[in-house]
């Protein structure tokens, strides 16, 4: 082998080895992040289940139904989809599953002559849906790494205002439910 080609080959080998080291470092960082995220999810499960049970009990108990949030609309003319994704990629089907499900539901609504609006939560939903020309409401970005109550409250208040004002007749949350690190499920609720 000529000296020039050998040098080029060694350079390529070094480049591949450097890429391998970088990839390994990214893998280790991702593994530590997923452990932290799993701990946060598991810590929130009892709270989420309890609050869902309380709301179900209140709705089942009847009582005064003066709240515009507890009633159902006679006809649904416009649907609001809250598409919840991450701010970054490299997370497998986490974002793409939500976006595919939202797109499929929007197509069903359009065939049924219902209008729609999407509230994108996360940069991935915002960028994807904006690029494809979907009808978007105010986007909510920048807090998927460390979500907190005030972020959720801001989104909730915006969506409740849309529903209470009569601007939309139905609200559908589209998100990914964590089952395990190897399994997630897209939920429309």
| Residues annotated catalytic, as ranges | 91
Looking at the DSSP assignment, which residues form a beta bridge with residue 186? 176
Write out the two tokens for 29.
């960082």
Give the CA count within 13 Å in the CB-facing half-sphere of 29: 8
Helices and strands in the chain: count of H runs, count of E runs: 4, 4
* Residue at token pair 């995220």: 37
Write out the two tokens for 147.
């979500």
Task: State how far the alpha carbon of 75 is from the alpha carbons of 59, 78, 110, 163, in Å.
Answer: 21, 9, 15, 13
Instruction: Report strand pairing: 170-180 vs 78-84.
Output: parallel
> Minimal CA–CA distance to 93: which of 179, 4, 5, 7?
179
């Amino acid at each position: 082998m000529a000296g020039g080609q050998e040098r080029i080959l060694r350079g390529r080998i070094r480049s591949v080895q450097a890429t391998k080291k970088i990839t390994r470092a990214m893998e280790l960082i991702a593994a530590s992040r997923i452990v932290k995220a799993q701990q946060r999810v598991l810590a929130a499960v009892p709270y989420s289940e309890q609050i869902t049970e309380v709301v179900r009990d209140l709705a089942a108990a009847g009582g005064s139904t003066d709240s515009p949030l507890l009633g159902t609309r006679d006809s649904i003319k416009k649907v609001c989809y809250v598409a919840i994704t991450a701010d970054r990629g490299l997370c497998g089907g986490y974002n793409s599953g939500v976006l595919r499900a939202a797109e499929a539901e929007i197509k069903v609504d359009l065939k049924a002559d219902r209008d729609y609006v999407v509230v994108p939560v996360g940069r991935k939903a915002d960028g994807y849906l904006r690029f494809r020309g979907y009808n978007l409401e105010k986007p909510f970005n920048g807090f998927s790494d460390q979500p907190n109550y005030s972020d959720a409250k801001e989104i909730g208040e915006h969506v409740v205002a849309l529903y209470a004002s009569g601007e939309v007749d139905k609200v559908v949350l589209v998100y990914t439910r964590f089952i395990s690190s190897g399994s997630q499920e897209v939920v429309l609720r």
